[in-house]
Structure 1
Amino acid sequence: MAAFNQSDDLHGAEFVDVNLHGARFVRSDLSAAVMRGVDVGGADIDAPWLFDGGNALRVNGVDVAPFVEAELNRRFPGRSERRAGDPDGLRKAWATLEGTWSATLERAAAMPAGTVDISVDGEWSFAQTLRHLVMATDTWLGRAILEIEQPYHPAGQPNFEYEPDGYDMSVFSTPAPSYAEVLEVRAGRVAMVRDFLAAATPADLAKVRKNPWGPDHAVTILSCLHTILNEEWEHHRYAVRDLEAIEAGLED
């Protein structure tokens, strides 16, 4: 099977009468791609940034992005609150999110032993997803909002393709933690966000911080909180998707 990576520049390439059946695109930029007369039956697209920047995703001339957004909000009650712009709205959004994750944790706990460590199609396991959310909270709350010099817990799960500029990520060079430790650390990070929001004021939300992924760029505390909420909902969607796939496999 042919494989392409970052060293292969396919920008502006043209594919004509090419068989891409079963091809898999991971962390690939397909923005502004144009497809004509294509067979996309059974195609599966996961684009977490679909709604950023107001870009359209047109299928047969119809912008389907608004329909996808509405359906995700229907499937995940409370998701629509993730862009709340005031302290009360953010507190409500976080409380709803906590309840959603609590139910999902109970669902995972009720499944066969080892379920939380199963990877579906090479994606992060349930435990790794929780670890990544620890790292995301440490980045956007600890490093950005609270400006903690070293906010990272070793149990976090980084995405090493996107290391923060000038930051020593060797803190993560440790054996994988037990699931019990993951749950404990994750609960602590959830409480940190809750506690911060409990005391947040409109003036706090407007304060400016350094973007943790690009310190030369400024971001508001509100935008950092929106990033945390987006991370939470997107990774919850992934977690539920993979739990459903695991459950389907158990039934076969």
Structure 2
Amino acid sequence: MTTFAGGEDLSGAVFVDADLRGAKFVESDLSRVVIRGCDVGGMEVDAPWLRFGEPMIVNGVDIGPFVETELNRRFPGREEQTAESPEALVEAWAKLETAWSAAVERARTMPPGAVDETVAGEWSFAQTLRHLVYATDKWLPGGALQSGKDPHPLGLNHAAVDVSAPPSFEEVLSVRADRQAQVRAFLAAATIRLLDEECPSPNDSSQPETVRRCVQVILEEEWEHLRFATRDLDALDAGACESGEPPPRRR
């Protein structure tokens, strides 16, 4: 199997009568890729940022709006991740916490060790929660609050490959609950004026970001990773566990 890794530039490449069955593209730039007269049966595309930027056209139809509508139907409350007022953000966060609570309870009912199992090289359920700890630290104290606090060591960076012994699930849940409470308390006290304030972006300190946008990024992270986690819990229930492959990077 040929593997391209390390930033090879294949932009503008043309594949004619090529066999790409089973090929896997991870963290790759496929923007404006053109596919003509190809068999795409069974193709799976996971693009968390589909609603941003340019449309995705399939047989002349922009499928982005249809995908968003379906995801909002499957995950009630997801449509509020772009809420703007303090009251709307409080309500959006409450719905998100309810959805995650159901996912955690489902994970608790699974066989011992299931929360640390990976599916197709993705993060385990526990690792996903650890990433959300990192994301909250990055965008709340590290963004909206500009507190200067170091992120919690249990948090998992999107670029990290976790090779250490996993912490207990109860420890993960404890830190995760603390971060959820921090967001809840912040939103309860937020005002329009505060949300309108600008701060350096955690992604690029030279670029400004509103406090509101920092909160919305947390909401986006939460809903996308709930989707990932739910998908993988379904796979685990179906016996599709596959461990041993490092997880791909997520935002």
2:245 match: none
* Counterpart residue identity of residue 86, structure 1: S
Distance 1:15 1:173 in 2: 37
Q: Helix, strand or coil: the match of 1:18? A: coil
1:44 match: 44
When structure 1 is superposed on structure 2, of 221-230 and 152-161 the one drifting more is 152-161
Q: Helix, strand or coil: the match of 2:238? A: helix
1:201 match: 191
* Counterpart residue identity of residue 106, structure 1: E
**Equivalences, count:** 239
2:4 match: 4
1:109-161 per-residue CA deviation (whole Å, 9 max, x = no partner) reads 01111110010000000000000000000000011111121330011011237
C-alpha displacement at 1:179, in angstroms? 1.2
* Counterpart residue identity of residue 3, structure 1: T
2:249 match: none
Distance 1:211 1:173 in 2: 29
1:35 match: 35
Change (3 A) 1:176 1:148: farther
Q: Helix, strand or coil: the match of 1:46? A: coil
Distance 1:226 1:89 in 2: 11
Change (3 A) 1:175 1:149: farther
Distance 2:204 2:141 in 1: 15
2:114 match: 115
Distance 1:88 1:174 in 2: 41
- Among the aligned pairs, what percent are the same residue? 54
Distance 2:138 2:131 in 1: 10
Structure having the higher helix fraction is 1
Distance 1:20 1:61 in 2: 23
1:171-207 per-residue CA deviation (whole Å, 9 max, x = no partner) reads x997542211100000000000000000000001100
Q: Please give the residue correspondences for 1:64-213 in structure 2 after superposition, counting only pairs within 5 Å.
A: 64-160=63-159, 176-213=166-203
1:196-251 per-residue CA deviation (whole Å, 9 max, x = no partner) reads 0000000011000101111000000011111000000000000000000000118x
**TM-score, normalised by the number of residues in structure 2:** 0.92
Q: Helix, strand or coil: the match of 1:15? A: coil
Preserved CA contact (<8 Å) 1:154 1:174: no
C-alpha displacement at 1:90, in angstroms? 0.3
**TM-score, normalised by the number of residues in structure 1:** 0.92
Distance 1:213 1:176 in 2: 27
Distance 2:136 2:150 in 1: 9
1:169 match: none
In structure 1, the gaps of 5 or more residues are: 162-171
More contact order relative to length (CA 8 Å, sep ≥ 6): 2
Preserved CA contact (<8 Å) 1:132 1:158: yes
Question: Alignment RMSD, CA only?
Answer: 1.4
Distance 1:28 1:235 in 2: 19
In structure 2, the gaps of 5 or more residues are: 241-251
1:165 match: none
* Counterpart residue identity of residue 22, structure 2: G
